[in-house]
Amino acid sequence: MSRLRFARTPSGAVGLALLIAVIALALLGPFVAPNPPDEPIGVPLTGPSAGLPLGTDFLGRDVLSRVLFGGRSVLVLAGAATVLAYLLGAAVGLFAGHNRRFTDAFLMRGADIALSFPPLIFLLVLTTGLGTSVSVLVVGVALVQAPLVARIVRTATAEQAVRGFVEAAVARGERTTAIVRRELLPNVAPAIMADVGLRFTYSIILVASVNFLGLGLQPPSSDWALMISENRSGLDLNPLVILAPAALIALLTIAVNTVGDAIARSLGRSSVEAP
Amino acid sequence: MSAGAAAAETTRRPRSFPLLRFVILRILAGLVTLLVVSVFVFVGTEVLPGDAAGAVLGKNATPEQLAELRGQMGLDRPAAARYLDWLGGLVTGDLGNSASGYAEGSARPIWNEIEGPLVNSLTLALLAAVLMVPLSLVLGVLAAIRAGRSADHAISFTSLSVVSLPEFVIGSLLILVFFSWLGWFLPISLVPPGESPLANPSQLVLPVLTLLGASLAGSIRMVRAGMVQALDAEYVHMARLNGYRERLVVVRYALRNALAPAVQVIAQNLQYLVGGIIVIEYLFSYPGIGKELVDSVAIRDVREVQSIAILIAALYIAINIVADLIVVLLVPKLRTSL
Amino acid sequence: MEAALALEDLRVELRNGVAIVEGVSISVAPGEILGLVGESGSGKTTVALALLGYCGRGVSITGGTVTVAGHRLDTADERATRRLRGRIVSYVPQDPASALNPALRIGASLRDMIDEHRDATTVVADPTATLGAVDLPSNDAFLRRFPHQLSGGQQQRVTIAVSLTCEPPLVVLDEPTTGLDVVTQARVLDELRRLRADRGLAMVYVTHDLAVVASLADRVAVMYAGRIVEEGATADVLKRPFHPYTRGLVESIPDHLHPHALQSMPGTTPGPGERPQGCAFEPRCPQRRPECVERVPPLEASATGRLVRCFAWRETPLVVLEPVPTSTSREAEALPLLRVEDLAAEHRSPRGPAVVAARGISFALARGGCTALVGESGSGKTTIARCVAGLHAPTAGQIVLDGTPLAALARGRTREERRRIQIIFQNPYDSLNPKRRIADEIARPARVLRGLSVAEARDEVAALLERVRLPARAGNRFPGELSGGERQRVAIARALAAGPDLLVCDEITSALDVSVQAAVLELLHELRRELGVAVLFISHDLGVVASIAETLLVLEHGLVCEEGATPTVLEAPAHPYTQRLLAAAPRLPDPDELGVSA
């Protein structure tokens, strides 16, 4: 199937393998963790030892187990936020792109204003007003990404809407929903696919950043970003407590972005955002 | 275009001071955007009924103490009035008093609180920006000119990897290398209040490098993409067919037309840089407004959050306006249609 | 005197060794204009670029020599070749708008050419002289303009001026007038004739348009599938072609002064890598012999100095032009099928004022008849067509179908009304949904507008594919696998699937090669004959409408300036605009000697 063509390129294959490995670790980690993530089990901030290959954190908990438990949160939260962003943004974008009138200009002006606000500050403002909760985080990240998705979908839709086969459908008097579903969506899909990697990567970055600032998931959660934040002062005693989660976040985001880039290139597009 | 239209094009009376009008209009538009943003910031922070006075005094406050503090903080007035008050204050430069100030029993103006950190942050941002802009141009253009060859592969692969990383991960990895392993720099960048951050430059290295890394990677990728596109333009082929030297073709034909998109790209990444400061200051405990903002959010000091948010938003918008102006100056088609 | 151009045995290959162009030899004397003619896939642009020692990406010159005024351009020395470009041989591109650096003023663009070639041995003309040569002002105000501030014709003349800067012995022009309107094209061609007369410029003029070549070139070389198949004096070749392909080409070219039925050649041009071992034209040739399959015919010289690449060239019959088929319309009927009354339409852009596209348009179309709307771009003809099809809401007037006024937009029309009017678009690469199979695409109108079941629609699709002369297995393909001409046939089949009474054809052949265009127009004739369907034909090409329409409406800037029966309008135009159009349109030589059958 041509959808998996990207997996045949060297970067696509490596990225995919890496991605599967990290996701597996994150999702299956809790089942193979040797120790519970929340229980102190040794002297705080000691280096690797026999039963604790990654040592202990600032409260004496097993770093390896915490790391195995800590990937789920960022994956699930970032995933949910991305899906929500697409539902919102694609709906707005399809609608705006097909109705090249006042609604389009209005919606895009709104998107432009939304995009002129620093995303992290948006999330911090929401957190100030609504408190630190998981749902605030997910909805907040979705709201940050939705205008970007809307813009991309709207541009792609507007491009397709003037093509002959769409106009032929209009001349046949087909209903708007039928035109969007049969003519526009299949031809807008490549533009969306080329962008998916970037969107998901950015969601992960935002979720992790808010967790890092201590304004997302709260202790005793073993979220990777939170781990880095909590153990900052113990750096010189057990660097692994920072290295392990940092490396895993890095591998995850690099893998997602590499796969996304390979998909975009297999579709003949660039995954680099246009100015 | 028909001959008639071309004639019309040249006989249209040029408007007076077109560039000035453009700048003023853009600034006005920016102010309108800022206004919309301020509404959002106000509503967003004060949406929960749980009020700031309660956050300051804690759970053990008596109703009388709460009422008195609310009066002092002006929380007993209706929302619309509070918003207009705040707006008026912003315009005149009075940002109000910080909640943490009330907690200590005095009325501390927010401006005094954030003045120092603001300067620290601007120093950090400027240092990173001054490095980021030329580096992204040089490396991005280089990668495009040598597209497909080893220099390009190296630059593209590195930037693709780095651009994926959250800023705090870049910072953490840099700390691990330069502190835990090499022992060259400290992971904390403390600047005593009142002292200039430049007094002890070695503590600026890691934060600046981190800031640089995140924004530079994205910028290089986009500059490269724009330049690759420019190198493929018809007028570039024509210049080669006319027998021009390759250096002239690359600089005067390709690069000259890739500059405007590059400016937009660099502006976008400067904004990213401004946003990234928050996380980086928190990571390095650098006393800038980013760290100040996070601390304020943690204790729900609504006034201070609002003030810092608006300041940073204004900076964001200002970057946009400057970028738009430079783009208009660079692209003849836009300049002549002003 | 040495030849301006001596091209010998040029071979250009793709990276995988497949030849794009082979065995091409051309010579051009000083002051001579050679027309290089071919359709898409013939390799003419590749040859044009090779004349400057230049190759596109992934392509390289692997054989032959390129010698311009004694200088070799095919050597491996890229620096030496680069210095010759622009100086010994220069290039005029197809699209002037994209060929000029948008960031440089005109004066700067001209000065670049001067500065880059300034050295002891080169004569360099200053901007005043070169601009004067192409009839452009050379004052400061003009030199300070940017390319986007010039009209298409002015832009093209600037690129010509740039190409003349070093007074090169040879100028290569690659379809330089294709994007221009007819009147501007005529002016540019005049300019070129004058330059040749004044300066003794030698030119290689690459084009697909035989009529342009007829009016400009001394000699013509015809290319097919990467080889030259015929070469000789222009008038001779066009009046009495020896190669069967050239003959087929001449018979398919529209002529507005002597309208004839456009005859098509069966089959399609093979692309690189698809060429057979023998003569590439053999599969389509009416004169083929057994030896044509075995080996490639060599170029033979005739007694009159003609070169032909054909074993059977002596048997090529004279060009025979059939008259236009008689009309099938029922003019006598009282009620016309379609009546447009006082139609007006606008274009509204988001920030500017509304632009009037058409005003006061009234005409009638009889059942089974064919009316053409002719005009340049901006004349409003496409807007009117879209109003008829229900894609654009008019601002005044009405469209009446069989006595009943139609709603402005298709959404508001009844299913019957939508079924009876179908539209076919200009761009074959846009008119089909790339993600849907051909059969599904064709079936859609039958299902939506006629309520056919899946099984009934399937039968209908098979019948339609046959009617538009496409193989049955095309139904299973995706549009990306078909050529432009094939896609246009599919678009026609899709329109027919609704069983319409009126086909609105919006420049449906403008994006096609001449021979492909002839085939599509032949198909249209057949459909009118067999199905009695009426056609509203929009075009800018007077020759094409001459071969197909009974009534002509000439449009200028949204107004009808002339209307009447086709022969009348073409032979005795009343309106000055029509007269200008007719005078400017290039045409083939007088067919009196071509034996038009009665």
Of the given ranges (B55-64, B130-139, C47-56, C558-567), which has the lowest mean pLDDT?
Answer: B55-64
Listed residue (B326, B276, B321, B264) closest to B137, CA to CA: B264
Find the closest chain A residue to C428 by CA distance.
A164
Contacts of B194-197 spanning 24+ positions with Cβ under 8 A: B194/B116, B196/B119, B196/B123, B197/B119, B197/B120, B197/B123, B197/B124
pLDDT digits (tens, 9 = 90+) for C146-169: 999 999 889 999 999 999 988 899
Give the one of C418, C427, C491 whose C-beta lies nearest to A172's C-beta.
Answer: C418
Query: What is the structure's pLDDT at A12?
Result: 86
Residue C135 clears pLDDT 80, i.e. is over it = yes
Query: Residue B233, Cβ neighbours under 10 Å: how many?
Result: 18
Listed residue (A91, A93, A203) closest to A137, CA to CA: A203
Partner-chain contact C86 B244, CB within 8 Å: yes
Listed residue (B258, B269, B310) closest to B163, CA to CA: B269
Residues of A at the C interface (Cβ-Cβ below 8 Å)? 105, 163-165, 167-174, 182-183, 186-187
From CA C381, how far away is CA C554, in angstroms rounded?
9
From CA C369, how far away is CA B53, in angstroms rounded?
84
Tokens 């939170």 map to which residue? A226
The answer to whether A226 touches A213, Cβ cutoff 8 Å, is no
pLDDT digits (tens, 9 = 90+) for C430-474: 999 999 999 999 999 999 999 999 999 999 999 999 999 899 999
Find the closest chain C residue to B4 by CA distance.
C151
Partner-chain contact B6 C95, CB within 8 Å: no
Interface membership of C15 toward B (CB under 8 Å): no
Cα–Cα distances (Å) from A259 to A11, A83, A190, B154, C137, in that order, read 8, 18, 15, 18, 56
Average pLDDT over residues C115-134: 80
Domain range list for chain A: 1-70+222-275, 73-217
**Nearest-10 Cα torsion for A16, A21, A26, A27:** 90
Tokens representing residue C130 in the block: 């070169």
How far does the CA of residue A85 sit from the closest CA of chain C (Å)? 26
Average pLDDT over residues B320-329: 91
Query: What is the structure's pLDDT at B7?
Result: 40
Interface membership of C411 toward A (CB under 8 Å): yes
Q: According to the 3-state scheme, what is the secondary structure of C532-545? A: CCEEEEEECCHHHH
How far does the CA of residue C209 sit from the closest CA of chain A (Å)? 27
Find the closest chain C residue to A168 by CA distance.
C423
- pLDDT level of residue B238 (50, 70, 90 thresholds): very high
Partner-chain contact B333 C148, CB within 8 Å: yes
Interface membership of C90 toward B (CB under 8 Å): yes
From chain A, pick out residues whose CB is under 8 angstroms from the CB of C444: 169, 172
- Chains near B (3 or more Cβ pairs under 8 Å): A, C
Listed residue (A45, A7, A63) closest to A263, CA to CA: A7
From chain A, pick out residues whose CB is under 8 angstroms from the CB of C434: 187
**What is the homologous superfamily of the domain A73-217 according to CATH?**
MetI-like (1.10.3720.10)
From CA B19, how far away is CA C33, in angstroms rounded?
49
From CA C548, how far away is CA C521, in angstroms rounded?
8
Return the axis-axis angle of helices A71-98 and A10-32, rounded to nearest 10°.
Answer: 130
Listed residue (C359, C353, C341) closest to C556, CA to CA: C359
From CA C47, how far away is CA C53, in angstroms rounded?
10
End-to-end CA separation in angstroms for chain C: 49
Instruction: Give all domains of chain C, ordered by start, each with its CATH number.
Output: 5-217 (3.40.50.300), 338-582 (3.40.50.300)
Give the one of B33, B43, B48 whose C-beta lies nearest to A116's C-beta.
Answer: B33
Partner-chain contact A250 B187, CB within 8 Å: no
From chain C, pick out residues whose CB is under 8 angstroms from the CB of B245: 82, 116
From chain B, pick out residues whose CB is under 8 angstroms from the CB of A257: 160-161, 163-164
- Residue in B51, B169, B259, B312 to test binding to A, most A beta-carbons within 10 Å: B169
The answer to whether C127 touches C207, Cβ cutoff 8 Å, is no
Interface membership of C54 toward B (CB under 8 Å): yes
Partner-chain contact B164 A214, CB within 8 Å: no
Partner-chain contact A232 B226, CB within 8 Å: no
pTM of the model: 0.85
pLDDT digits (tens, 9 = 90+) for B252-261: 999 999 999 8
Q: Give the largest Cα separation in chain C, rounded.
A: 80
Interface membership of C57 toward B (CB under 8 Å): no
From chain C, pick out residues whose CB is under 8 angstroms from the CB of A182: 433
How far does the CA of residue A123 sit from the closest CA of chain B (Å)? 10
End-to-end CA separation in angstroms for chain B: 19
- Residue in C73, C90, C149, C159 to test binding to B, most B beta-carbons within 10 Å: C149
Interface membership of C212 toward B (CB under 8 Å): no
- Chains near C (3 or more Cβ pairs under 8 Å): A, B
pLDDT digits (tens, 9 = 90+) for C348-383: 776 677 888 899 999 999 988 999 999 988 889 999
Partner-chain contact A171 C494, CB within 8 Å: no
Residue B8 clears pLDDT 60, i.e. is over it = no
From CA B99, how far away is CA B57, in angstroms rounded?
10
The DSSP output letter for C471 is -
Residues of chain B with CATH 1.10.3720.10: 112-298
From CA C372, how far away is CA C546, in angstroms rounded?
9
Give the one of B172, B175, B297 whose C-beta lies nearest to A215's C-beta.
Answer: B297
The DSSP output letter for B250 is I
Output the average pLDDT for chain B. 83
From chain B, pick out residues whose CB is under 8 angstroms from the CB of A216: none
Give the one of A209, A235, A270 whose C-beta lies nearest to B279's C-beta.
Answer: A209
Give the one of C391, C445, C494 whose C-beta lies nearest to A167's C-beta.
Answer: C391
From chain A, pick out residues whose CB is under 8 angstroms from the CB of B224: 272
From CA C177, how far away is CA C35, in angstroms rounded?
14
From chain B, pick out residues whose CB is under 8 angstroms from the CB of C99: 234-235, 238
Find the closest chain C residue to B232 by CA distance.
C57
From CA C117, how far away is CA B19, in angstroms rounded?
37
Instruction: Please report, in tens digits, the pLDDT of each residue of chain A (275 residues total).
Output: 456 777 778 888 999 999 999 999 999 999 998 888 888 888 888 888 888 888 888 888 999 999 999 899 999 999 999 999 999 999 888 888 777 677 777 888 888 888 888 899 999 988 888 888 899 999 999 999 999 899 889 889 888 988 999 999 999 999 988 998 899 989 999 889 888 999 999 999 999 999 999 988 988 889 999 999 999 888 878 888 999 999 999 999 999 999 999 988 888 776 675 54
From CA C501, how far away is CA A53, in angstroms rounded?
81
Average pLDDT over residues C51-71: 91
From chain A, pick out residues whose CB is under 8 angstroms from the CB of B176: 235, 239, 242-243, 246
Interface membership of B247 toward C (CB under 8 Å): no
Tokens representing residue B261 in the block: 């998109």
Tokens representing residue C43 in the block: 């390799």
Residue B56 clears pLDDT 70, i.e. is over it = no
* Residue B59 one-letter amino acid: K
Interface membership of B333 toward C (CB under 8 Å): yes
From chain C, pick out residues whose CB is under 8 angstroms from the CB of B252: 101, 104, 112
Give the one of B2, B235, B241 whose C-beta lies nearest to C101's C-beta.
Answer: B235
| Three-class SS state of A131 | coil
- Beta pairing, strands C59-68 & C219-224: unpaired
Average pLDDT over residues B310-335: 90
pLDDT digits (tens, 9 = 90+) for C191-217: 899 888 888 889 999 999 888 999 899
Is C588 or B58 the better-scoring residue by pLDDT?
C588
Query: What is the structure's pLDDT at C102?
Result: 94
CATH of domain B112-298: 1.10.3720.10
Is C513 or B60 the better-scoring residue by pLDDT?
C513
Partner-chain contact A174 C448, CB within 8 Å: yes
